Structure 1
């Protein structure tokens, strides 16, 4: 568990999922949090949450099997991927995203991993700058294809131009 100021970072629990929908709404994707928690329960990921004063304020998911994009897999294989990083509006720039990334890095190290990757949209220079400051370097451009199912059950497909970045994780001594 990592703390930034009064922020607690920990994996999602079953009892958290209903709270996430109320505090970290996902417009057009009412099942996103449940899907990420189910991936965690299946052992394919870890859904990290940031909390302040008992309220969820940010999240991100480690996909232990890596990015699904063929361009990325061809370049980095099954490098664990940290994706879906988001911090509640009004709280960005306060170190919450950085704390989530550091927690993902620590969990990756604990599992014997030596690298962690993440994707960033080409239209998101603020996130790209953060990742660069944290030591992530661009490896490959790719198109992120994803979909969401809305409250009416309709599936919407999206494609975003992205860059996949990787950071080699230093080992912890002692």
Structure 2
């Protein structure tokens, strides 16, 4: 796939390998002392998810994790049981956004869900991120339920930071 507005170079989406984690940390860092990329890769190794990485040339420019057990929020899981979640979609640096990388990552995640026999896939979008919400609507996702997303990380000083964010869970039925 070609990235809009950039010199000719193929973009490729691959399943994360152990050797990719260090490069992801260098190019798309984590806010804390513990690598988000290493945690996602570990979940993949446990069979809980598939961690996809978008590469432009030899550089990672985006990623997302397909969590096969669904959204962490119990209310969302109860409303749509068996629905895997596309989680932590990101394109970096910001100057590469709106060039088709995020759409390609979502499509790759959908293909993997279809290959596993799943009939729908979902994702959470922050209420304060209308740009992402517009992308997901263009890709056919529809609002299912509001919920609070919660996660934590250990910062560089060893302090555990807790995040709570207002989200809406969106679902797309897969043909």
Q: How does the TM-score come out when normalised to structure 2? A: 0.93
* Paired residues, number: 168
User: Partners of 1:67 and 1:29 in 2: how far apart?
Assistant: 25
Alignment counterpart, residue 62 of structure 1, candidates 66, 71, 75 = 66
- Contact 1:47/1:62 (8 A) holds in 2: yes
Paired residue for 1:116? 121
8 Å Cα contact 1:67-1:78 kept in structure 2 = no
In 2: Cα distance, 1:42 partner to 1:25 partner = 23
State the Cα distance separating 1:29 from its structure 2 match.
5.5
Query: Where do 5+ consecutive residues of structure 2 fail to align?
Result: 4-9
CA distance in 1 between partners of 2:2 and 2:125 (Å): 23
Correspondence for 2:53: 49
Counterpart of 2:109 in structure 1 is 104
Query: 1:28: Cα distance to partner?
Result: 2.9
Question: In the alignment, which of 141, 145, 158 is matched to residue 150 of structure 2?
Answer: 145
Which residue of 66, 82, 93 corresponds with 2:86?
82
More deviation, 20-29/33-42: 20-29
CA distance in structure 2 between the aligned counterparts of 1:159 and 1:82, rounded to whole angstroms: 18
TM-score (norm 1): 0.93
Runs of 4+ with deviation above 3 angstroms: none
Please provide the CA RMSD for this pair.
1.1
- Segments of 5+ residues of structure 1 without an aligned counterpart are none
Q: Deviations along 1:55-86, whole A, 9 cap, x unmatched?
A: 00000000000001022112112310001000
Q: Is the 8 A contact 2:67 2:84 kept in 1?
A: yes
Question: Corresponding residue for 2:139?
Answer: 134
Q: Is the 8 A contact 1:141 1:161 kept in 2?
A: yes
1:165 aligns with 2:157: no
